[in-house]
Amino acid sequence: MKRICKTSIYAMGLINEVKAFEKSLPISDILFDFRKIISPPEEFYEIYDHTSSDQRLKIYDWRTSNWGTPSNGTVYKTARTYFEPEKNFEFQIVTACDAPTLVLNKIIKNHRNLFYLMHQIDYLDNELIAYRAFDDTDFNIICSSYRYINEDFEKSGCDMSLEHLCGLQNYKLNQPEKDFIMSFDIGKFIIKYV
């Protein structure tokens, strides 16, 4: 089983503000370097071949506690769409185990004038779509699907938040935002309401 998490972020707003957001992202080639957003102590900065297993565990614990995931992200794709005077920027990163929620929250707090959509699917195929609008302090989960498996049974389902769905309806979504939502299986539950 691959233990990866895919997180897609879609930012929408005025062109100059979206460009500032895009420029603030620590992306070089395919690396999304979380160390440039939340810097680890020097002894936890890098893992080398000769790093002891005890030290590796300490590094992974620090990263998980401070980033939300034990490794840096790999950029899977980026895309830009322009609608004067607005611009949209989308990126997808792949991380080990869980989403880098603490890193993303820190980046987004510095760019509060944007509207964000997020899609996430973790290594167990649990999936969610959420939005964060302007001065919201956190993402509002609109729809989530879950899959729970243990030795005895498998359970799956889908939950929708009517409160957050109504909140999303307050924002006029253009076709690119609707396309972003529809590009994921779980989005088909939401799109008929927005």
pLDDT in tens, 108-134: 888 989 999 999 988 777 888 888 888
pLDDT of residue 154: 62
Going by C-alpha positions, the residue among 80, 186, 97, 82 that lies closest to residue 142 is 186
152 pLDDT tier (thresholds 50, 70, 90): low
**pTM of the predicted model as reported, rounded to 2 decimal places:** 0.81
- The domain locations on the chain are 4-193
pLDDT of residue 34: 92
Going by C-alpha positions, the residue among 87, 82, 60 that lies closest to residue 72 is 60
190 pLDDT tier (thresholds 50, 70, 90): confident
Residue 41 burial (10 A CB sphere; 0-12, 13-18, 19+): exposed
pLDDT of residue 151: 60
Mean pLDDT of the region 135-152: 74
pLDDT of residue 66: 95
Residue 152 CA to residue 174 CA, distance in Å, equals 45
Strand positions, DSSP E, the chain: 4-14, 27-28, 31-32, 73-83, 86-96, 115-121, 127-133, 140-149, 154-160
Please name the amino acid found at residue 85: P
Mean pLDDT of the region 185-192: 73
64-90 pLDDT, tens digit per residue, is 999 999 888 888 778 887 666 777 888
Mean pLDDT of the region 34-56: 85
pLDDT of residue 50: 78
